[in-house]
Amino acid sequence: VCGPPPHIPPGSGIPGKSCGTIIVLAEELSNCRDVATLQFCANKLDKKDFFGKSDPFLVFYRSNEDGTFTICHRTEVARHTLAPVWAAFDIPVRALCNGDPDRTIKVEVYDWDRTGSHDFIGEFTTSYCELARGQHGLNVYEVVNPKKKLKKKKYLNSGTVTLLSFSVESDPSFLDYIRGGTQLNFTVAIDFTASNGNPSQPTSLHYLSPFQLNAYTMALKAVGEIIQDYDSRKLFPALGFGARIPPDGRVSHEFPLNGDAENPACRGIEGVLEAYHRSLRRVQLYGPTNFAPVVNHVARAAAAVLDGSQYFVLLIITDGVISDMAQTKEAIVNVRGSGCPKGGCPLWHLLWDAH
């Protein structure tokens, strides 16, 4: 009933008017990570359309702890047939039965109708445990319309639905990978553009004081000290961008903080901080703020590792506006498109605003 409850100010409901109810139920999810692939066909379904056959589709329901049902999948409509074969579909086992193999799964068969009032053909129940037997004489289900069954003595069924194939795959989480030994490859990129302020001035975000950590150091320590425990070698490539670098003073958007272009890796977060201080003394803060070169740098390395043994994290610490937004977008899109495994790409984009 939709009158405003006492804590809601008047005027936010329609007092005295019943607008229906919304019921929210919660159920703890099992941590089952399996994904099932199922395919069904049907035979001799009831003919529902006046001029023709039927346009059947299936609706799957998971049963809840309290005995109610929740829709968890709907197949496509098979047009104009009483013997449809639906496309195979993937469904998380959690969605199908909350990971409980014995829970009832209800399946309803409908005849699709243009107006949206689909005609009920019949229903049957099964369970994950039964489906997991795969294609099998026991996975042929009679589709029953309970009303028809009550009315007609001779009624047998409204057709049958057959499970054509069943398979299941585990979809590991990020933590599963980490437990299995995936290492984080943590790369840091630091903004050396002039907008950070002259490093010799206390107002600069790059100001090095014996008494207090600057914003860049704080960001680096906050993220790095957590991530470093997931890298057994503790070698962290550290790059700078947006500065004029020695010896010739050209502007670089991808220079090694330790000065070693062959191997920009630093030993531990302490090593990264040392290299950062070293660069601050040597380079001239300049601009513009380009991200694409460092994104591409890490993306190249990530593209070479497709076995899940490494997960690449790029931490970009910056003070401001990206100058090469279009190129940065393109670099990120390219990473995602370059042969990423099914579970997503092994690269995080982490951006830390030094303000």
Binding site for ligand NAG (CB under 6 A): 185, 187, 237, 297-298, 301, 310
At residue 291's C-alpha, the angle toward residues 288 and 292, to 5°, is: 115
**Smallest distance, Å, CB 21 to ligand NAG?**
55
**Smallest distance, Å, CB 26 to ligand NAG?**
42
**Smallest distance, Å, CB 312 to ligand NAG?**
6
Report the distance separating Cα 177 and Cα 160, nearest Å. Answer: 42
**Smallest distance, Å, CB 177 to ligand NAG?**
16
Nearer to ligand NAG, 158 or 310 (CB): 310
Q: Cβ(2)–Cβ(14) under 8 Å?
A: yes
Cis amide linkage into residue 247, ω under 30° from 0: yes
Nearer to ligand NAG, 56 or 237 (CB): 237
Nearer to ligand NAG, 107 or 298 (CB): 298
Cis amide linkage into residue 210, ω under 30° from 0: no
Per-residue tokens: 196:
């950070």
Nearer to ligand NAG, 148 or 267 (CB): 267
Nearer to ligand NAG, 139 or 310 (CB): 310
**Smallest distance, Å, CB 53 to ligand NAG?**
59
* Burial grade of 200 (CB within 10 A; 0-12, 13-18, 19 or more): exposed
Nearer to ligand NAG, 185 or 204 (CB): 185
Residue 193 DSSP code: B
**Smallest distance, Å, CB 341 to ligand NAG?**
16
Give the helix ranges, DSSP H, for the chain.
Answer: 93-97, 128-131, 146-151, 174-179, 215-227, 268-282, 292-303, 325-337
Report the distance separating Cα 242 and Cα 275, nearest Å. Answer: 16
